[in-house]
Chains A and B, each alone.
Chain A
């Protein structure tokens, strides 16, 4: 079992109607780009969010990019551009 935890924040969470999920990777590891592609294959709103909008990603609470490698047990956070301060 190659399970990762995915968290969704702010507008993304509302649009996807999902705050957190356990996700099975097909292999021991994959890239952020590959994960986004798999999520985009789910259905309308997932496809829209992961292909059309600007989605930022963190791996284990550190900002990451599409080439970052994800491994079993990792925590992935997806979120829109930040608006604090």
Chain B
């Protein structure tokens, strides 16, 4: 089980291989990678800046993995989240889970992503020539997260 909050990009293949190292005990690996989407309505936005609460972020993410491990029989889980300046198409977040069977791996990966979105202390700021703008939280993310209560 591991959590990484970092400025640097990450290598999905290397993370996958870490999860695969638990073979032949495992029969399923589910990975999710989140990318920075092209900035929707505002073409004047150049980049995103990701801020977080050092120390708390890691604690929250580790707690999420523990919670997932209590709910489903997963063997290992990895969360990587980038901070700092990011541009469209950059990788921003990785969640990977392995388990004996696919249902636990699918459910745990989705759970981790949904709860991360609403509980982990990260904040996105759009940066452009006309200044910076903090993004608002989405109610659709809250709604998704309530499915797991």
Contacts and interface: CB of A to CB of B under 8 A. Distances in A.
A61 interface: yes
Contacts of B119: 63, 82
Contacts of A77: 53, 56, 121
Interface residues of B, number: 29
A61 B59 contact: yes
Interface string B113-149: 1001111111111000000001111100100000000
B56 A58 contact: yes
Among B52, B123, B137, residue most surrounded by chain A Cβ atoms (within 10 Å)? B123
Interface string A23-49: 000000000000000000000000000
A50 interface: no
Contacts, number: 71
Contacts of A10: 51, 123, 125, 134
28 contacts: A10-B51, A10-B125, A10-B134, A14-B134, A58-B56, A61-B53, A62-B59, A63-B60, A77-B53, A77-B121, A80-B123, A80-B134, A80-B137, A81-B136, A82-B120, A82-B121, A82-B122, A82-B123, A82-B137, A83-B122, A84-B50, A84-B81, A84-B117, A84-B120, A84-B124, A85-B92, A85-B120, A85-B122
Given A9-B53, A82-B119, A85-B117, 12 more contacts: A9-B121, A10-B134, A11-B134, A58-B53, A58-B121, A61-B55, A77-B56, A83-B124, A84-B93, A84-B120, A85-B93, A85-B116
Interface of A: 7, 9-11, 14, 58, 61-63, 77, 79-85
In the A-B complex, the 5 residue pairs with the smallest Cβ-Cβ separation, listed nearest first, are: A84-B122, A81-B137, A10-B123, A61-B56, A11-B134
